[in-house]
Amino acid sequence: MIGATPPNISELTRSSERLSYIYVEHATIHRADNAITVTEERESSISQQHL
């Protein structure tokens, strides 16, 4: 099987406990490995977060 194994039902959270929105300013949003990535470019460095 390629990719991650599906979680067990006990590992899932209620949709009300999940992140429903996020505010991102001056960044690039992509998708990688089934996750949302946010890349913020600054003058001195590049910061990337996986959500």
Q: What is the pTM of this model?
A: 0.41
State the virtual CA torsion across 23, 49, 18, 11 in degrees, nearest 10: 180
For 18-51, the pLDDT digits (tens) are: 767 778 888 888 888 888 888 887 766 666 666 5
User: According to the model, what pLDDT value does residue 11 have?
Assistant: 79
What is the chain's percent helix, strand, coil content, to nearest 5? Answer: 10, 35, 55
Burial class (CB in 10 A: 0-12, 13-18, 19+), 1: exposed
- How many angstroms from the chain centroid is the CA of residue 25? 15
